[in-house]
Amino acid sequence: MASGKIRDPRADHLLTPQNAALLIIDYQPTQVSSIASREKRALIANVVALARTAKLYGLPVVLSTVNVKTNINKPTIHQITDVLPGIEAIDRTAINAWEDEDFVRAVRGTERQKLLIAALWTEVCLLLPALDALHEGYEVYPVIDAVGGTSKEAHELAVERLIQAGAKPASWIQVICELQRDWNRRATVPGFSEILFAVEGG
């Protein structure tokens, strides 16, 4: 049995390593500790798996924090920065990352139209930049099992609003499988299996 011809990875309507970028916004200790819609250890495991996935497939990653330089908040949790060494976080004072010029410049600099977004909280730091990105014509994929809100209701209402606006919700396992797509892409199979079973195995 032969695989079909590989489609143009930039023009593909599905996610590929050549047409997607990952935005990770505000995974800082205060934000993580305030999550009530998802168990915190699962949240961290899922966003780390997502970061590892981006690294495995060579996706551009934009990392952002809020109020670190003002000494109000602490930096990104080490579980993420350990996976993404050398990626400097864009620190902001704007609640909506899309209202920060450096952040938007970094996103545009990826030259990718499909944006995977993970952010805390769902109802604020995911919702607002995602809505703005959609308004500017980007395809937005909020990675729902890697995000969380201050309550289950707040999280669910934000996800509903995103879907109504045209966002395409995903899970991190969906993302890694969509990027891998074919077992014949052997270079990434070992990493794929390692990431998948590290989380699934607990």
Per-residue model confidence as pLDDT tens digits over 47-63: 999 999 999 999 999 99
For residue 125, indicate whether it is catalytic.
yes
Q: What are the structure tokens assigned to 109, written together?
A: 């600099």
* 51 within some domain: yes
Yes or no: say if 126 and 120 are a contact pair by the CB < 8 Å rule: yes
* 3 within some domain: no
Per-residue model confidence as pLDDT tens digits over 110-122: 999 999 999 999 9
60 Ramachandran zone, left/alpha/beta (phi>0; psi -120 to 50): beta
152: number of Cβ within 10 Å: 12
Catalytic residue among 125, 130, 158, 167: 125
> What's the whole-number average pLDDT of the chain?
96
> Is the per-residue pLDDT at 29 higher than 60?
yes
- Give the pLDDT band of residue 4 (cuts 50, 70, 90): low
- Give the pLDDT band of residue 44 (cuts 50, 70, 90): very high
CATH number reported for the structural domain that contains residue 89 in this entry: 3.40.50.850
* 5 within some domain: no
* 178 within some domain: yes
* 8 within some domain: no
What gap in Å lies between CA 37 and CA 151, rounded to an integer? 5
**What is the extent of the structural domain holding 107?**
20-200
* 15 within some domain: no
* 65 within some domain: yes
- Give the pLDDT band of residue 197 (cuts 50, 70, 90): confident
* 32 within some domain: yes
Per-residue model confidence as pLDDT tens digits over 85-140: 999 999 999 999 999 999 999 999 999 999 999 999 999 999 999 999 999 999 99
Q: Into how many domains does the chain fold?
A: 1
pTM to 2 decimals?
0.95
Look-up of token digits 């976080």: 89
